[in-house]
């Protein structure tokens, strides 16, 4: 299928051919940027900094609002591009486009309100002023699982703050990124202020982006392992970093929970995007008194999920991103079953073959199993039984990750205790989905550094400067 938003990017001599994970078919071939190309782009971004950063917040907001409008006007084609390269069902892809645009709209507004501060002075002859200034040229490296939203969540605050940004998207999903860039051009965002660099050499390009002295900040979303490499590489030039990394989210259901709500929350939290989201519920802890009832009801709902090509009507669960992902998920499931897990549903690649994996539900999981420690990143729910509140909180926190956690309970005292005790950057209480542009998204521990979205998100792209005005007399 030819996409009109991508007509300027078709490059049959290029070396990156994007494949549809549902069919294996080639979607489009695009050009490759080398490390040398990226060096030149960094210099151009630096040259664009003075003019872009000097524009008023209101002026930048007008451009960003046009971009937001264009993204929404092109929602359907963008969704089709996402589904073609990433595999998620079209309805989810449409939702991602709206979610992605929401950051552009939000930060268009926030850019106008990047206030500084006047601090009551320590000396009658002086005054203290704090101003916020754009940090400079910023680079971003993004993953394939939300190929539009993970870009806009970074570019919108950077641009609103006055910073040019260079983005390296995932090799599997560069087309959504290019379509977003095309719409940025149409909105009037200058070429050198926002550039997408597509490459099949992430290491080489990543090295330029993390070591170049003109780049002042790196914002990354992806795995914890790669995030650690990028943090190390950024150390020599002491770059500011934002890291949105992996997770191992617990989803706890207490005896007093609304069971129907918990089952619905579990379904959406686990199986959205075929389980390939960083905030996906990864470990389900169900209290003794409702353990069997929860599994029975959850299994009924999981069994109703329809696996298929994301472009087909009625598909709930699309393919995994590639064959390696299917192998990894299958190996985790097999090892859990060998170690004593009970297969309630699925447990194998889907009968459709290719990159499809059957929605799976495993019960009687124990903490020593590999699957309890790994980020599964597939449509596999693992269920543990627990007895006491203290014990489940300890188990939930027993991981190096600290991105998202969820729990269902109605006792008010318990709700507060557990919300405070969970060592996570985000906690969903009686809710299975918590992403929104108005709230700070991010993790603690090995799940990351910094926050995206909300009124805090723009600070990631600004420096704080303290000015002491002295000699003013008494």
CB of 118 closer than 8 Å to CB of 127: yes
User: What is the rounded distance in angstroms from the CA atom of residue 92 to the CA atom of residue 79?
Assistant: 8
- Closest to ligand NAP by CB, 116 vs 440, is 440
Residue 400: is it exposed, middle or buried by C-beta count within 10 angstroms (0-12/13-18/19+)?
exposed
According to DSSP, the residues that pair with 426 across neighbouring strands are 404
Shortest distance, position 302 Cβ to ligand NAP, whole Å: 22
Backbone angles phi, psi at 248, to 5 degrees: -150, 70
Shortest distance, position 183 Cβ to ligand NAP, whole Å: 21
DSSP percent split of the chain into helix, strand, coil, nearest 5:
45, 20, 35
User: What is the rounded distance in angstroms from the CA atom of residue 342 to the CA atom of residue 41?
Assistant: 53
User: What is the rounded distance in angstroms from the CA atom of residue 308 to the CA atom of residue 214?
Assistant: 46
Shortest distance, position 229 Cβ to ligand NAP, whole Å: 5
User: What is the rounded distance in angstroms from the CA atom of residue 181 to the CA atom of residue 190?
Assistant: 10
φ/ψ region of 324 (left if φ > 0, alpha if ψ in -120 to 50, else beta) reads alpha
Catalytic residue among 105, 182, 244, 437: 244
Shortest distance, position 90 Cβ to ligand NAP, whole Å: 20
- How does strand 249-253 pair with strand 404-408? parallel
Catalytic residue among 278, 280, 375, 460: 278
Shortest distance, position 2 Cβ to ligand NAP, whole Å: 24
Shortest distance, position 5 Cβ to ligand NAP, whole Å: 21
Instruction: State the Cα torsion 168-56-460-205 to the nearest 10°.
Output: 20
DSSP string, 372-417: HHS---SSEEEEEEE--HHHHHHHHH-SSEESEEEEE---HHHHHH
- Closest to ligand NAP by CB, 254 vs 424, is 424
- Closest to ligand NAP by CB, 132 vs 168, is 168
> Is 446 labeled as catalytic in the residue annotation?
no
The residue among 262, 269, 267, 226 whose CA lies nearest residue 244 is 226
- Closest to ligand NAP by CB, 172 vs 183, is 172
User: What is the rounded distance in angstroms from the CA atom of residue 26 to the CA atom of residue 337?
Assistant: 36
Size of the chain, expressed as the number of residues it contains: 474
Residue 114 DSSP symbol: -
Binding site for ligand NAP (CB under 6 A): 141-146, 150, 168, 170-172, 202-203, 206, 221-223, 226, 229, 244-247, 278, 375, 403, 443, 448
CB of 220 closer than 8 Å to CB of 239: no
> Is 244 labeled as catalytic in the residue annotation?
yes
- Closest to ligand NAP by CB, 141 vs 290, is 141
- Closest to ligand NAP by CB, 134 vs 448, is 448
Buried/exposed 188-204: b ≥16 CB within 10 Å, e otherwise: ebeebbbbbbbbebeee
- Closest to ligand NAP by CB, 276 vs 287, is 276
Please give the structure tokens belonging to residue 400: 């190096």
User: What is the rounded distance in angstroms from the CA atom of residue 227 to the CA atom of residue 240?
Assistant: 13
Shortest distance, position 344 Cβ to ligand NAP, whole Å: 25
Which residue has the CB atom at the shortest distance from ligand NAP?
206
Shortest distance, position 431 Cβ to ligand NAP, whole Å: 18
- Closest to ligand NAP by CB, 359 vs 448, is 448
Please give the structure tokens belonging to residue 47: 């040259």
Nearest-Å Rg of the Cα atoms of the chain is 23
**Any idea which residues carry the catalytic annotation?**
244, 278
């Amino acid at each position: 299928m030819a996409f009109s938003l991508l007509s300027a990017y078709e490059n049959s001599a290029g070396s990156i051919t994007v494949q549809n994970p549902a069919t294996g078919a080639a979607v489009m071939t695009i050009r490759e940027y080398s490390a040398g190309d990226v060096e030149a782009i960094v210099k151009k971004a630096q040259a664009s900094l003075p003019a872009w950063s000097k524009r008023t917040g209101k002026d930048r907001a007008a451009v960003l609002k046009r971009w937001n409008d264009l993204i929404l006007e092109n929602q359907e084609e963008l969704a089709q591009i996402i589904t073609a390269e990433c595999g998620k069902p079209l309805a989810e892809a449409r939702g991602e486009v709206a979610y992605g645009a929401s950051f552009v709209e939000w930060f268009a507004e926030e850019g106008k309100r990047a206030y500084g501060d006047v601090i009551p002075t320590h000396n009658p002859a002086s005054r203290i002023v704090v101003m916020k200034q754009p940090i400079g040229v910023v680079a971003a490296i993004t993953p394939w699982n939300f190929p539009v939203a993970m870009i806009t969540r970074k570019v919108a605050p950077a641009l609103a703050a006055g910073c040019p940004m260079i983005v390296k998207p995932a090799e599997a999903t560069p087309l959504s990124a290019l379509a977003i860039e095309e719409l940025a051009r149409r909105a009037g965002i200058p070429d050198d202020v926002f550039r997408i660099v597509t490459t099949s050499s992430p290491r080489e390009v990543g090295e330029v982006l993390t070591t170049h002295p003109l780049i002042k900040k790196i914002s990354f979303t992806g795995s914890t392992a790669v995030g650690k490499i990028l943090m190390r590489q950024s150390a020599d030039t002491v770059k500011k970093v934002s890291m949105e990394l992996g997770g191992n989210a617990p989803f706890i259901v207490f005896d007093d929970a609304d069971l129907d709500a918990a089952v619905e929350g579990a379904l959406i939290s686990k199986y959205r995007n075929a389980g390939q989201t960083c905030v996906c519920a990864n470990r389900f802890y169900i209290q003794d008194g409702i353990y069997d009832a929860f599994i029975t009801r959850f299994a009924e709902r999981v069994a109703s999920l329809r696996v298929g090509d994301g472009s087909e009507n009625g598909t709930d669960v699309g393919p995994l991103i590639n064959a390696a992902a299917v192998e990894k998920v299958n190996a985790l499931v097999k090892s859990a079953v060998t170690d004593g897990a009970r297969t309630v549903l699925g447990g194998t690649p889907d009968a459709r073959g290719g990159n499809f994996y059957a929605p799976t539900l495993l019960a009687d999981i124990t903490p020593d199993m590999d699957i309890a420690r790994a980020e599964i990143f597939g449509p596999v729910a693992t269920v543990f039984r627990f007895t006491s509140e203290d014990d489940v909180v300890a188990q939930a926190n027993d991981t190096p990750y600290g991105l998202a956690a969820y729990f269902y309970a109605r006792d008010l005292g318990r709700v507060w205790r557990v919300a405070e005790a969970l060592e996570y950057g985000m906690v969903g209480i009686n809710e299975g989905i918590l992403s929104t542009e108005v709230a700070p998204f991010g993790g603690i521990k090995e799940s990351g550094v910094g926050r995206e979205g909300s009124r805090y998100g723009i600070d990631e792209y600004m420096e704080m400067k303290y000015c002491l005005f002295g000699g003013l007399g008494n």
